[in-house]
Amino acid sequence: MPPASSGRQAHRQVPPKGGLVGASRRSCIVALSLVGVGSACAIDLPISERIASVRPLAMRVEAIDFVPDPDRPPRSEALPVESIRAIPFIVDDQGPLTPERIEAELEPIWLACPMQPIQGLFACLSGQLPLALDEIEDCPPVDFSALDPSLGTELPAMPAPCRIPVGVGASTPAEPSMQVPLDFNFFLGGDLELTMIGHRTDGVSTERCAEALLGEQPVPFECLVAVQRASIGPDAEILRLAADAGLPIDQLGSLPPDDQIPEADRNTQVTGFRVVVSDEPVGRDDLLRVLEEQGTEVAAGDTLMARAGQTLVIETTSPEDDLQTYLISAEDGMYEERQENYRGDWYRTWGTLLSNDSDDPVSYNTWQMIPGEQDDIESDLPPDGRATLYFVQRDDRQGVSWFWFHVMVTP
């Protein structure tokens, strides 16, 4: 059986602009009692592919000012004054948490902070600590008068950090939205840092978690802190808009020709998930034939049936055409092209996965219905007879999507 990655190796030629502060190679989620939040990203939670309790796996940022194109995923990159929405993918051993559960159980609050181009995740907020939650003002609406060059040469700035208002319009605690503010860092190539603070159990409140995080105290195990980069750009388009508004951009970089300004970064999408339930292992040479002849299309949230000991052969598809070409700044005011790559991460609540990651538009994996590492080996069945598989597909910028399905396992 081939590994879950079917060929091309994803590699980063430029520093990545994103990911969650979470619990894998790509991310680190603060869900432990740690002495200082900064150490959270230096360690991995045990058995990162196994989901045993409430855990954020990804966060999707969408630009929401436009009618979506039904044939293309929504933009993950927005310009100043456009509006964005953050959609966290938070799961437990039963399935993804609904927005209602996130709001009622996690009670999250959200902060935004303008990142400098050289900063990594959590650097913007941590650079302002210590803070008290009640000292942080709400993110203000955009002041368009700040774009008037006759008022001076200084470019505008936003509060760092500010609290994203929820309960107003479409902005909710589970899926907050905000207008991208005007800030000098965005004209230099910076982005927006989004931080969610919540709690996993009733043993501690969100306010207590915020007090610990913002006061640079040990973060209780019951707390959840997720950090995501919201891309602001494309950078060349920001410079063009600033020049059109008469803002001073002489020191910010050169403008590429209009026909060389790339489109905004878009999220990824999972367009196909096929599964074969097999009594016997499927060899490499027979894999595609078996999937073609016996593969069943699975929709997100579906429930399949399998017996203990059987193997699920899985094929997942994301369009190769969705991988975008983008520009990065190079020497002498020039720009270089880069091509996105895919990166998939696999998680399970029970069972044994062949691989925990993949890197191709079409990737394969196997999921055996036998106890895996840290599962209860005294039983051949998962708790309540149900196991869940989660798949998170990213590109190497800010695009992300996800998929999941359940399996009822019988003796």
What pLDDT, in 10s, does the model give residues 346-372? 999 999 999 999 999 999 999 999 999
| Structure tokens belonging to residue 296 | 């069943």
pTM of the model: 0.86
> Residue 397: which of 93, 15, 24 has the closest Cα?
15
Residue 152's pLDDT is what? Answer: 56
Separation CA 280–CA 309 (nearest Å): 9
Indicate if the pLDDT at residue 108 is higher than 90.
Answer: yes
Q: Are 260 and 335 in contact (CB under 8 A)?
A: yes
Predicted confidence (pLDDT) per residue in 109-167, tens digit: 999 999 998 889 999 999 999 999 999 999 998 877 766 666 555 667 899 999 999 98
Which helix (H) or strand (E) covers residue 292, if one does? Answer: helix 287-294
Complete DSSP assignment for 191-237: -EEEEEEEESSTTS-HHHHHHHHHTT-PBPTTEEEEEEEEEE--HHH
List, in sequence order, every residue forming a beta bridge with 85; answer none if it has no partner. 62, 177
Distances (CA, A) of 132 to 206, 214, 223, 356: 13, 6, 17, 39
- Of the chain, the percentage scoring pLDDT greater than 70 comes to 80
Q: Which of 88-102, 148-162, 250-264 has the highest mean pLDDT?
A: 88-102
Amino acid at 33: S
Strand blocks (E) in 53-104: 55-63, 77-78, 83-91
Strand order in the sheet with 311-317: 296-297, 272-278, 311-317, 362-368, 352-353
Cis peptide before 234 (omega within 30 of 0): yes
Q: Of 57-61, 117-121, 281-285, which range is least confident?
A: 281-285
Radius of gyration of the chain from Cα atoms?
A: 22
Indicate if the pLDDT at residue 32 is higher than 80.
Answer: no
Work out the end-to-end distance of the chain between its first and last CA atoms, rounded to an integer number of angstroms.
Answer: 25
Predicted confidence (pLDDT) per residue in 163-195, tens digit: 999 988 889 999 999 999 988 888 888 999 999
Indicate if the pLDDT at residue 228 is higher than 50.
Answer: yes
- Better-predicted residue by pLDDT, 1 or 118: 118
Q: Are 151 and 174 in contact (CB under 8 A)?
A: no
Which helix (H) or strand (E) covers residue 241, if one does? Answer: helix 235-244
| Structure tokens belonging to residue 328 | 């990065």
Burial of residue 279, with CB atoms counted within 10 A of its CB: 0-12 exposed, 13-18 middle, 19 or more buried: exposed
